[in-house]
Amino acid sequence: MSLDVQALRAQFPILSRKVNDKPLVYLDNAATTQKPQAVLDAIMDFYTTTNANVHRGAHALSDEATRRFEKARDDVAAFINANDRKEVIWTAGTTEAINLVAKGLGQLLKAGDEVVVTEMEHHANLVTWQQACKVSGATLKVAPIFDSGELDTDAFTALLNTNTRLVAFPHVSNALGTLNPVKLLTAKAKKHGALVLVDGAQGIAHGGVDVQDIGCDFYAFSGHKLFGPTGTGVLWGRANVLQDWPVWLTGGEMIADVTYQDATWGELPNRLEAGTPNIAGAVGLAAAVNWFSALDTHAVQAHEKALLASAHEQADAFDGMRIVGTAPAKMGVMSFILDGIHPADVGYILDQQGVAIRTGDNCAQPLMKKFNIPGTARASFSIYNSLDEVDVLFSALRKAHMMLA
């Protein structure tokens, strides 16, 4: 069954607006996705009918809010095939999820320990480990990628040894679109007894993520890149790892017993969720997950593949355009450079024509330095984009090239 893109688009109110008097062509989905009416309705409904703080239990509204909040956890747990609902920890997004792990690991690391990341990391999955290593005296090792943007898995494997405490890599690179063989990389790291964190910020919105199948210890993602609200995210972690994980945020909700001098921590998931959570956000994220799950995953992936294939085909035929990131396995993202034109100028001209893309370093400065470029322009696709919109992108790019090259 193929995806009915027009019917999908009709569920996203923002997609029918105009920008600069032109129909919006939204191709910045790797930065954040748009929200379907089902998500907007769920958030509105929560605030309209159920709003109260959770886990306080003194009145009916609080009970209802708690039930909706915890049901959201169940929905997300099912979505990623978590073994146990308590393995789903709410965070503000991928960045916070990675920090939760890194701040905890920072308390466990010592000199001689090693953390392995890749050259294609988003700053969230690089700076965080870099700083955890700095404060603990551990060593950060960076696995190289080929010029195509594909990870050099042999070089990655060669970095692993018995000192490797944690390995972190992206499911999909936000800057290059590279789809990493996460199961294979996890198995390699596990042979040395290392913990494995997958940065799923760009991997989660394409369907089919099964954390048990991957075999990792942590999987981090943001709600806003999955048709859900900003300020939401999830750290999934194995219960036996999370139950003793050093806490980094302390306060209400996460404690068991408190005296003036000391405190003990509660059980999962609460021990890692200090303070009032983003309740309406969790409800909105669950609505997004349920909305997305109702789609046919094969159709979703086939459509996204067709969008990227059309973009690549048109780029190959475009004199003066170079794709940055040509790994054989890619998803959702096409970064590129128009010869002699700064990416920011490309972005400006496209915006004038209603086409929204990202330009800049893609939160991956070391990667841009490696490729010796100031940044890229990046078109990123989602399920509601049509093949016609890819054509609009390219006619806008031809215009930019004519005007600026």
For 85, the token pair is 């609902």
H/E stretch holding 237: strand 233-237
CB of 227 to ligand PMP, least distance (A): 13
- Return the closest-CA partner of residue 355 out of 295, 311, 319, 304: 311
CB of residue 380 to ligand PMP, shortest distance in Å: 9
DSSP of 153-169: HHHHHHT--TTEEEEEE
- Least distance in angstroms from the C-beta of 204 to ligand PMP: 10
Among 66, 118, 125, 326, binds ligand PMP (CB under 6 A): 125
CB 238 within 8 A of CB 87: yes
Query: Among 168, 205, 150, which residue's Cα sits nearest to residue 30?
Result: 205
Residue 170 binds to ligand PMP (criterion: CB under 6 A): yes
Work out whether 86 is an interface residue with ligand PMP (CB under 6 A).
no
Which segment (10-18, 69-77, 122-130, 372-380) binds ligand PMP by CB under 6 A?
Answer: 122-130
Is 216 part of the annotated catalytic residue set? no
d(CA 354, CA 6): 19
Examine residue 228 and tell whether it contacts ligand PMP (CB under 6 A). no
Nearer to ligand PMP, 31 or 52 (CB): 31
Q: Binder to ligand PMP among 93, 237, 281, 325 (CB under 6 A)?
A: 93
* Residues facing residue 247 across a β-bridge: none
**By C-beta, is 3 or 216 nearer to ligand PMP?**
216
> Which residue lies nearer to ligand PMP by CB, 122 or 303?
122
The number of angstroms, rounded, from the C-alpha of 148 to the middle of its chain's C-alpha atoms is 22
With contacts defined by CB under 6 A, name the span among 5-13, 120-128, 239-247, 390-398 that binds ligand PMP.
Answer: 120-128
Active-site residue identified among 8, 363, 392, 400: 363
The helix/strand/coil state of 39 is helix
Site for ligand PMP contains 164 (CB under 6 A): no
Q: Read off the DSSP letter of residue 247.
A: P
Name which position in 68, 122, 206, 271 contacts ligand PMP (CB under 6 A).
122
Residue carrying structure tokens 């994220």: 285
Place of tokens 């890692």: 272
CB 187 within 8 A of CB 169: no
CA dihedral 94, 96, 97, 100 (to 10 degrees): 160
If DSSP codes are grouped into helix, strand and coil, which group holds residue 25? strand
Site membership for ligand PMP, residue 180 (CB under 6 A): no
Asked if 95 touches ligand PMP (CB under 6 A), the answer is: yes
Does 314 bind ligand PMP (CB under 6 A)? Our answer is no
178 binds ligand PMP per the rule CB under 6 A: no
Contact pick of 33, 66, 174, 380 for ligand PMP (by CB under 6 A): 174
Count of residues near ligand PMP by CB under 6 A: 13
Token pair belonging to 212: 């048990």
Window 323-382: residues binding ligand PMP (CB under 6 A)? 363
Task: Tell which one of 29, 50, 180, 202 touches ligand PMP (CB under 6 A).
Answer: 202
Interacting span for ligand PMP (CB under 6 A) from 65-73, 197-205, 312-320, 382-390: 197-205
Piece of the chain touching ligand PMP by CB under 6 A; list 51-59, 88-96, 101-109, 336-344: 88-96
Residues 90 and 276: their CA atoms lie apart, in Å, by 11
Report how far residue 282's alpha carbon sits from residue 68's, in angstroms, rounded to the nearest whole number: 9
- Those residues whose C-beta lies under 8 Å from the C-beta of residue 398, and which sit 6 or more positions away, are 318
With binding defined as CB under 6 A, does residue 117 bind ligand PMP? no
Catalytically active residues are 363
Binding region for ligand PMP (CB under 6 A): 93-95, 122, 124-125, 170, 174, 199, 201-202, 222, 363
